[in-house]
């Protein structure tokens, strides 16, 4: 069986992973959402609809989090020191680091759209799934209205297991994980949806 690594999104079941070749997944493999055939479009595509203040500016809220800086963090002195202690020459090129510091790590390059940029770090699609099939306005309206099943188009409803895919003892900087506390730091609701 070929395995899929996507930070946080790696929680997905592997039923459609025949197009994906990667190292070992960082997270549980029994997640109910199947997304391996969906493509990654990049956070700038999500920004198009998710930056309006009246709708909650989810993009701006994500941009202010450590998730948006996760790849850049790997270029810092502390990351290089941790990597060197583990025998890793370049944390920005090491699977052990990238699996949780960028979105879509390890997927077939054909699934990475022209707007995909690993420099975005842990972006929208890390938690919500690859957006190639759900990013369009009509699809999102159908999901909101309940006429389209979000999971059928790759949309993940993130939960604690999603986070635990990377926020776990495997991380060299892990100091425990309180889901409710960390969720409060990254939550970005749309006030127009209940």
Tokens 């999971």, residue? 151
Q: Is the pLDDT of residue 127 over 50?
A: yes
Residue 27: how many other CB atoms lie within 10 Å: 26
For the chain, give the mean pLDDT.
83
Q: What share of the chain is helix, strand, coil (3-state, %, to 5)?
A: 40, 0, 55
Residue 129: how many other CB atoms lie within 10 Å: 29
Among 190, 104, 193, residue whose Cα is nearest residue 154: 104
Q: Is 112 helix (H, G, I), strand (E, B) or coil?
A: strand
Mean pLDDT of 174-193: 91
Residue 106: how many other CB atoms lie within 10 Å: 21
Task: Identify the residue with better confidence: 47 or 27.
Answer: 47
Q: Quick one: pLDDT at residue 194?
A: 57
CA dist., res. 82 & res. 92, Å (int): 12
Q: Is the pLDDT of residue 67 over 60?
A: yes
Mean pLDDT of 78-103: 96
Helix (H) or strand (E) holding 80: helix 77-85
Q: Quick one: pLDDT at residue 17?
A: 31
Q: Quick one: pLDDT at residue 165?
A: 92
Helix (H) or strand (E) holding 42: none
The whole-model pTM stands at 0.79
CA dist., res. 78 & res. 151, Å (int): 38
């Amino acid at each position: 069986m070929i395995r899929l690594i996507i930070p946080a999104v790696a929680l997905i079941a592997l039923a459609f992973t025949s197009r994906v070749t990667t190292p070992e997944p960082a997270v549980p493999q029994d997640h109910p959402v199947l997304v391996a055939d969906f493509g990654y479009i990049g956070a700038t595509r999500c920004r198009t609809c998710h930056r309006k203040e009246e709708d909650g500016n989810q993009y701006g809220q994500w941009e202010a989090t450590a998730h948006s800086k996760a790849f850049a963090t790997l270029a810092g002195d502390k990351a290089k020191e941790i990597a060197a202690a583990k025998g890793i020459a370049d944390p920005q090129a090491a699977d052990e680091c990238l699996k949780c510091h960028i979105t879509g790590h390890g997927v077939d390059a054909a699934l990475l759209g022209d707007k995909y940029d690993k420099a975005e770090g842990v972006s929208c699609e890390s938690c919500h799934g690859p957006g190639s099939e759900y990013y369009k306005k009509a699809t999102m309206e159908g999901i909101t209205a309940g006429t389209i099943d979000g999971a059928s188009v790759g949309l993940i409803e993130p939960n604690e297991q999603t986070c635990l895919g990377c926020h776990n003892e495997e991380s060299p900087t892990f100091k425990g994980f309180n889901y409710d506390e960390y969720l409060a730091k990254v939550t970005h609701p749309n006030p127009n949806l209940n």
